[in-house]
Amino acid sequence: MTKYIQTIKDYNSILLNNPKKLIIVDFFATWCGPCKKIAPTIEKLVKMYTKTCIFIKIDIENITLEPIVTAYNVNAFPTFVFIKNSSIIGSMTGADSTKLEFTIKKYI
The beta-carbon contacts of 10-18 under 8 Å, at least 24 apart in sequence, are: 11/56, 11/58, 11/65, 11/68, 14/54, 14/56, 15/83, 15/86, 16/86, 18/54
- Is-catalytic flag, 32? yes
Which listed residue (8, 14, 15, 32) is catalytic?
A: 32
Which listed residue (22, 23, 25, 35) is catalytic?
A: 35
Catalytic residues: 32, 35
